[in-house]
Amino acid sequence: MRNFILAFRNGFGFLSTIPVGITMEGIENLMKHIYLFPVVGSVIGLILALIVIALTTFFPPTIVSLFVIISIYYITGFNHIDGLADFGDGLATHGTKDKKIAAMRDTAIGTGGIVFCMIALIGLFASLISIQESEFFVVLPFALIVAETSAKQSMVTVAAFGRSLHKGFGAMTVNNTKRSDLILGTIFSAAVCYVVLGVMGISAFIVSQLAGLLVLNTANRHFGGVSGDVVGASNEIGRLAALLYIGGLGWMLL
């Protein structure tokens, strides 16, 4: 029980900026319970939902959307969007897989990374506005719970099917993710998404996982495997995919 609690606590230290304390022993325990990623994501989503409820009392949709984005990165940190930037740099590089991997590992951000991050942030802002301006605007807090839960499960999905490229926390995640983690994480995430948003939540969850698999397929073709940057990118793209679905196609199907 102690190891489980230690893993759960360090999950917040690993996936967010919440000051819970983080140790190598805790990280090692977390790597034995990677199915906890979406559990942490659901709690982060709940925090964001409460922030949205407070914001919508005082501000219009555009201001709410801006503060939601600020809140997302204040709570989750910049590690994952930094991974998206590195992922974009790697994809934008021409040449061999080794050159692409070198570009992805370069600490400087290139044009590809900037463009990927811009598209992700604009897409995030647009989806938040779309949800609020629809007749179902009250769904935004629930959408954020679905999006964060799905995003963290996207990381588990990519890690479960991926092959690590080099040493690091990304390799630890990939090498320690078992099929049981994938199954438990999927069951938990699907249950949360269904309870929160019903069929729409499940649909958004599926779209998010498909986006994660697209990231995995792209990484395999361009790099020959998965790194921490790829896993981080899957979090950003998984969240975006879920929110775009809820804010766009989801309502068109009603």
pLDDT at 168: 67
Percentage of the chain exceeding pLDDT 90: 58
Q: How confident is the model at residue 120 (pLDDT cuts 50, 70, 90)?
A: very high
Domain parsing of the chain, residue ranges: 33-252
Burial 126-153 (b: 16+ CB within 10 A, else e): bbbbbbbebebeebbbbbbbbbbbbbbb
Beta-carbon-side half-sphere exposure of residue 234 (alpha carbons within 13 Å): 35
Mean pLDDT of 208-218: 96
Res 135: pLDDT: 63
Residue 111: per-residue pLDDT: 86
Task: Using a pLDDT cut of 70, give the percent of the chain over it.
Answer: 93
Q: Using one digit for the tens of pLDDT, what is the confidence trace for 160-185?
A: 998 887 776 667 788 888 999 999 99
Contact 106, 142 (CB under 8 A): no
Of the pLDDT bands very low, low, confident and very high (cuts 50, 70, 90), residue 38 is: very high
| Count of CA atoms in the C-beta half-sphere (13 A) of 129 | 9
Span 84-118, pLDDT tens digits = 999 999 988 888 888 888 888 888 888 888 999 99
pLDDT at 35 over 70: yes
Integer angstrom CA distances of residue 76 from 43, 45, 48, 157, 203: 11, 10, 11, 19, 24
pLDDT tens, position by position, 7-18: 878 888 888 888
Confidence of residue 251 (pLDDT cuts 50, 70, 90): low
Mean pLDDT value across the chain = 89
Q: Is the pLDDT of residue 250 over 60?
A: no
Query: How many degrees, rounded to 5, is the angle at CA 41 between CA 12 and CA 228?
Result: 70
Interaxial angle between packed helices 2-15 and 37-55, expressed in degrees from 0 to 180 and rounded to the nearest 10:
50
Rounded mean pLDDT, 39-47 = 96
pLDDT, tens digit (0-9, with 9 covering 90-100), for 185-201: 999 999 999 999 999 99
